[in-house]
Structure 1
């Protein structure tokens, strides 16, 4: 990296949930950093551009790579690329496996990155806890990946591809990311907000008691990406890391709903405990993909907040908007 050169960070899929939270925190990377993002729809979200006027937006089709050369031509080679783009709805991946593989394995993005012919870029890639089979608790990074659905399979394929092709990468296996709504609200339903809205109606709602995850608060996820970005921009030392990124609590959907009820003061009597096997969702779902995050906490000194505190922070943020 040239001395005195302005650093460039590109968030791929920047109009999505994590992407927008990363862009909103972009100023924390440093004053001499230019930030751009890619979006898939015809136009970028106007509210996002209005709120963050320094941002550059590029329309890119990740399947074909169309639009990537416009990024290099006018923005330049990014020093950091954060890839948040994915088809992340498991049922959608199941019904269209070809689209899942084409989108979730970042072939065109990595090919573009390699075309620069140097090792000056760190690729931070978002993977998922769904790479694990889900038959035990607290998976570690070196446990075997045996995904039970197409979403998980496409993400395993992406990890393998990146590890084989890229000199510098950080692959983050993220659990369910939850937190406040984005600057330009995303269309997908957010887990805590959805639970709050159904429970607030006072009718009985079913929640699975036998599917376990380690949901991670979005600001903790952002902190991990910022830490990786800052250290890479500061020293440029080789990075090849694979990390579980989850919260500290292993919770079922039922326990998640109970936390929301506790924070809001709703009665637990409207929360009905059911087995995940009682519902056909059209896609296999791993029962327990809770993750061990020791490596994460040791590497960054980041201690993700408890699920209860995250729920509190999420609902407080919603109340203030």
Structure 2
């Protein structure tokens, strides 16, 4: 099988490249809008530049590569930036999906589309695949609109929704909750962490595994891919401090109203992952195991 990954420079994209390179039956093509950030790690990686918001590029690259599967990870995911730059958000998160859905259906390519818990209101959680969406911010609106395009496709598709992804990426500017907490406490810096939001945090390696299982089975439909531990960010921060033996007194427990952010956040999401376990054999790590993996990968950082 030939799998094309969009957004290969991102956190999930990099983990997919790392995982799929190890599968003997997979011919991998990595794509991203920018230059290939993984060139020094994998000099032999088949990479093609691709801006998924450009319809002509999407059609040309997919027609040339002729993948059997596309895993679409590229997206604008900064929630506040999406709220403030709505046109750019829509172009990257909705228009791009429209192009991919059309091209994949026309070429009989199985599409795995990545989505988010932020399509939900946050009034009830954890959530199964059948839960009714109701986004409370523009990022969530854009991702729900993208899902609706995929759902209406006559082609073969799956939607993998996920929650609060964390991990370590190569040559990557953004941090994540685990590293932020560890590095702040190591520096003796007090931090404020919310205790009135709930998520099922997802190790990036686990999400990549879930996407690979979907592609390998050519599974179709909706799948919730996360951990099954419902935690507040404050509880996560305490676990990080415990794991690294750091001073928990520096962690101040606050509620979300402490922060003024352009975009609202859903209060309580998190996923029920029974379907992915049952149909795909998906089995995520615990949060403590995830902290250990992130810690080992970030030695020297």
Q: Which residue of 1 aligns with 2:136?
A: 148
Asked whether the 8 Å contact 1:139–1:291 carries over to 2, the reply is: yes
Structure 1 residue runs without a partner (length 5+): 1-6, 233-238
If the length of structure 1 is used for normalisation, what is the TM-score?
0.88
Query: 1:167 aligned to 2:155?
Result: yes
> What CA distance in whole angstroms lies between the structure 2 residues aligned with 1:317 and 1:253?
21
If the length of structure 2 is used for normalisation, what is the TM-score?
0.94
> What CA distance in whole angstroms lies between the structure 2 residues aligned with 1:198 and 1:320?
15
Shift of 1:217: 1.2
Shift of 1:54: 3.1
The structure 2 residue matched to 1:98, chosen from 84, 87, 104, is: 87
Query: 1:22 aligned to 2:16?
Result: yes
List structure 1 segments (4+ residues) > 4 angstroms apart after TM superposition. none
Q: Which residue of 2 aligns with 1:191?
A: 177
Asked whether the 8 Å contact 1:125–1:169 carries over to 2, the reply is: yes
> What CA distance in whole angstroms lies between the structure 1 residues aligned with 2:30 and 2:181?
30
3-state SS of 1:146 partner: coil
Question: What is the aligned length?
Answer: 299
1:31-54, Cα deviation, whole Å (9 max, x unpaired): 4x321121112x222xx1232233
Query: 1:35 aligned to 2:28?
Result: yes
Query: 1:51 aligned to 2:41?
Result: yes
Query: 1:215 aligned to 2:201?
Result: yes
1:143-187, Cα deviation, whole Å (9 max, x unpaired): 1100100111111111110010142111011101112x22x3211
CA RMSD of aligned residues (A): 1.6
> What CA distance in whole angstroms lies between the structure 2 residues aligned with 1:154 and 1:200?
37
> What CA distance in whole angstroms lies between the structure 2 residues aligned with 1:63 and 1:74?
18
Structure 2 residue runs without a partner (length 5+): none
**1:158/1:219 Cα in 2 relative to 1: closer, same or farther (>3 Å)?**
same
3-state SS of 2:252 partner: strand
Q: Which residue of 1 aligns with 2:164?
A: 176
Q: Which residue of 1 aligns with 2:53?
A: 63
Q: Which residue of 2 aligns with 1:236?
A: none
**1:81/1:153 Cα in 2 relative to 1: closer, same or farther (>3 Å)?**
same
> What CA distance in whole angstroms lies between the structure 1 residues aligned with 2:179 and 2:56?
35
Asked whether the 8 Å contact 1:209–1:253 carries over to 2, the reply is: yes
Q: Which residue of 1 aligns with 2:77?
A: 88
The structure 1 residue matched to 2:121, chosen from 126, 133, 158, is: 133
3-state SS of 2:55 partner: coil
